[in-house]
Amino acid sequence: MSAILPPSEQVWWKTPVGKEEIVWIALALTWCLIMFAMMPIWHVYGKQNLSNEAYKTTPVQYEAKVKAMVEQHTIRTQSVGEMDVPVVAPPAGSDVYILGRLWSWYPMLEFKKGESYRLHLSSLDWQHGFSLQPININLQIVPEYETVITITPDTSGEFTIVCNEYCGILHHTMLGKIYVTE
């Protein structure tokens, strides 16, 4: 066989393959299988990827859930600029709602260390970025979708929620707080 033959007379699977090519194909296939296996392994054991759920909702429905939670579990208010923002301490294991809107996260939350909570997030207006610092949890929060993550705080302290998706002229002021107590 020769590469000089016209395509109609060539049978590609009968063309001999050099040893160097076989080695490179074997190395590439092995590396692909390793990378393929690492994706689910890293998801489970890497402790970096959040497993979340998402549900279709409307801003009106979601805001009603947030207001009901705030009315039921508010423990105090905190002044932020000219506004008084409620600080909510829901019971462990409960559903907790926080919403993003121009240019604030509402309400502030207080969790107990070592307890699990189902944190629901949604936006009433634009796409926002939920970035919990200094832990570096990052999520895209989109209107008409309710994103749910299960969190279990393992350190106490004050954590800041930052919008990391540009949402308008006062984007830099869009901050929230999560307090974790012993």
CA-nearest of 54, 155, 172 to 114 is: 155
Q: Name the strands in the sheet holding 52-56, side by side, starting at the edge strand that comes first in the sequence.
A: 52-56, 145-151, 117-123, 95-101, 104-106
pTM beyond 0.75 = no
pLDDT of 7 > 80? The answer is: no
Query: Any bridge partners for residue 70, and if so which?
Result: none
Neighbours of 111 (CB within 10 A): 23
Predicted pLDDT of residue 2: 56
Distance CA 112, CA 114 (A): 6
Over residues 145-164, the pLDDT tens digits come to 999 999 999 999 999 999 99
* Percentage above 90 pLDDT, the chain: 56
Over residues 36-61, the pLDDT tens digits come to 999 888 877 876 667 788 999 999 99
Cis peptide before 59 (omega within 30 of 0): no
